[in-house]
Structure formats: C-alpha cells, structure tokens
Chains A and B, each alone.
Chain A
Amino acid sequence: DTGVSQDPRHKITKRGQNVTFRCDPISEHNRLYWYRQTLGQGPEFLTYFQNEAQLEKSRLLSDRFSAERPKGSFSTLEIQRTEQGDSAMYLCASSLEGAGAGRGTQYFGPGTRLLVL
C-alpha cells in the first residue's frame, strides 16, 4: 500500500500528558498537511510543510502543539500537556505541489483518534 499512513490509529491519554503522532506521506509528495477534525465538522487546517520547511501554522495551533518534518519525508505532530479539548481526529494529508491535472490533490491518511481523559 503506497497511501498515506498514520500511527497510532487510536490514542487514549490522561490530561497533562504529552502525545506524539506520526505521518508517512506518499513518497514522491513534497507537501504534507495536518488537520484536526471533531465530530460533525469538516477537517480544520493546522499546519503544512513543503519538503522540510513548515510554511504556515493556523491560529488553532497553540504553543502546546509542534510539528516537524525533519528530512522532508515523514512528519510528527506533538501535543504537550494535553487538554480534554484536544480530543479529536488528527488527519495527515500529502500532495504534489503545482498546477495541472492531478497535482495539488490531497491524499489523506486514516487519521489518529485522540481521546484525552
């Protein structure tokens, strides 16, 4: 399977703990995105990378959130001192930058469902 993969698929943690999620994009894709989705809502943009550079962060991304893509391949999203409001599905997507047929289309992973108790 050459799609986007995410690990873990589910995470239960206690409030105040740190969690880290991993995303492996489609290998030739240079862009990687993180979104958060709560029940009954569409995904909300958090941040994105082009290769290893983090180009933009949403205002939703508080100081407790940090994302990296050290070698322009996989990415990690860390949440420090988790709060109950962080409970959500965290989605990763990747794309190949540029105009033209098929380029720019985002391919999503299965998501990591986080529950903060």
Chain B
Amino acid sequence: SQKIEQNSEALNIQEGKTATLTCNYTNYSPAYLQWYRQDPGRGPVFLLLIRENEKEKRKERLKVTFDTTLKQSLFHITASQPADSATYLCALDPPPGNTGKLIFGQGTTLQVKP
C-alpha cells in the first residue's frame, strides 16, 4: 500500500532562514501531491498542489518541488517568520486517482524562533 514519510522530528530554525521539509512516498507516483498547514486544534489548510509534470511550483514565500524519480517532494519556506510555526502535512491521492481520498504523512512541526 502507498505510504508517505515525513520527518517526524520537529524542525527548529531562526527567523529569516529558509525552512525545508521533506516528503517521501513509496510505490507508485501520484498524479499530484498537496501540502497543507495545520495549527494546533485546527483543521488542515491547503497551501499548494503540484502535478507530476511540474518540477516546481511557487506561491509567495513558498516553493514546492516534485521529483518522481526520487519519489520525493520538498517544501521550502523562504524568509521564515515566527508566524510560519505550525505542522506541515503532505498528502497524495492514491489510484485510481481523482477520488480525493487523500493519504497524509504524519506531518513535520516547524518552529521558527525570533
């Protein structure tokens, strides 16, 4: 079955630095991969979606890459701020696809220190 692995250890960085979070998956490559942000006690909030034919996608200070050879997605936050502190989840839609039945990683908690 499809599995997603995110770094379970919290990532602590200094304000202004770039945070890089990793998402690795097994088995098949999905048609697209999504990244969500989740704050404590809240539901996930959609951030970015990247398709298999896209190598990179950007949105303001966020950048996502998708390497189907390595079966990996990287999520970058540049010029990080304390307000970026949250848990970040990656998710994909297993075959046959387009069901929206997302499989999530366990999330990586980011702590940005002022």
Contacts and interface: CB of A to CB of B under 8 A. Distances in A.
Q: Do A and B bind each other?
A: yes
A48 B49 CA distance: 20
Interface residues on B, range: 20 to 34
B98 A99 contact: yes
Contact of B43 (A31, A95, A105, A109): A109
Given A110-B42, A110-B43, A42 B101 contact: no
Contacts of B44: 43, 91, 108
A93 B100 CA distance: 10
Q: Which of B41, B43, B91, B102 has the most CB of A within 10 A?
A: B43
Q: Is the interface of B mostly helix, strand, loop or mixed?
A: loop
Contacts, number: 61
A37 B54 CA distance: 30
B103 interface: yes
B87 to A, nearest CB: 9
Interface stretch (B64-72, B73-81, B104-112): B104-112
B43 A45 contact: no
Contact of A48 (B8, B34, B45, B99): B99
Interface of B: 4, 8, 34, 36, 41-46, 49, 89, 91, 98-107
Given A43-B102, A105-B34, A108-B36, 15 more contacts: A31-B100, A33-B100, A40-B106, A41-B107, A42-B106, A45-B101, A48-B100, A48-B101, A55-B99, A56-B101, A104-B49, A105-B49, A110-B41, A110-B42, A111-B41
Interface of A: 4, 31, 33, 35, 40-45, 48, 55-56, 91, 93, 95, 97, 99, 104-111, 113
